[in-house]
Amino acid sequence: MPRHFLTGQELDREQLLALLARAHQLKAAPGSSDALAGKSVALIFEKPSTRTRLSYEVGVTELGGHAVVLRPGEMQLSRGESIADTARVLSGQVAAVGVRTGPDALIEELAAEGSIPVFNMLTELHHPSQALADLMTLQEAFPDRPLDELRLAYIGDGNNVARSLAILGEAAGLEVVVASPQGYELEPESGGERTSDPQAAAAGSDALYTDVWVSMGDEQTADQRRAALAPYRLDDELLSLAADDAIALHCLPAHPGEEISAELLYGKRQRIWDQAENRRHAQKALLEWLLASA
């Protein structure tokens, strides 16, 4: 049976920590692995992308493989071909397939109907690829402390990024608290703690994390969302409540002056641009793990 990476729950703690350790090795020596030599990986983008497209496509190339980038208008899915039939075709042509889409049901059906690894590059409910890079970045920022001694406060909308942080953070032993206003809360079963108080979440934390207030698909409620989330801005005042060496994190793209202040986004107490680079290294380790069973 192929391995899949749909929510992050596919990894137990030992596997997750081993994958992160491998990511650090690959960052130190980017050209050291040819795990995808002679293999092609399909990358299906039904939603726009900068970091995901770059990190996965470059990562596949660095592993010696070939990335086949597919967009909705270039596939027969847009003309009514079934997901099951698409899965069968992909299984006969490529070694693995990643999907950046909306409904989680699409990626779940691809995994169920195909015979190759399927990995999540973003869905409505999950963004586990991002969470891998986030955990790797925390390890870099606090090299003398294991993840199970750290506390991360996610401030803002309880969205797919928050959910994946809670899921994979719990697997790694990381303390994750999610602070969101009423109506934007993350469900408790995802793991971690919940609060409506951003100051309480920030207090003593080692990292403060935020995401955009208006994600793809939220445009119709943009004004309502901005009003509700305004007290949850990540800035120097909020960071002052955290640990003395605390860092700011953001999965990008950012809107300076909205969910994060420009001073913090481009300041000395953030690891945001390291996060963006670490997408590639963590995902290369993920691809090795996925293909190890193939």
Largest Cα–Cα distance of the chain, in whole Å?
Answer: 55
What is the C-alpha radius of gyration for the chain, rounded to an integer number of angstroms? 19
Distance CA 234, CA 208 (A): 8
Within 97-211, where are the H helices? 104-113, 128-141, 160-172, 198-202
Active site residues: 100, 127, 130, 211, 251, 279
- Strand, coil or helix: what is 129? helix
| Spatial contact of 234 and 260, defined as CB atoms under 8 Å apart | yes
Q: Indicate the burial class of 222 (C-beta count within 10 angstroms; 0-12, 13-18, 19 or more).
A: exposed
Distance CA 288, CA 23 (A): 10
| Total residues found in the chain within this entry | 294
CA distances from 10 to 15, 178, 245, 286 (A): 9, 22, 32, 12
| Spatial contact of 59 and 287, defined as CB atoms under 8 Å apart | yes
Distance CA 40, CA 66 (A): 5
End-to-end CA distance of the chain: 8
Compute how many other C-beta atoms are within 10 angstroms of the C-beta atom of residue 20: 24
Question: Omega before 253 cis (within 30°)?
Answer: yes
Q: Which residues, in sequence order, are bridge partners of residue 67? A: 41
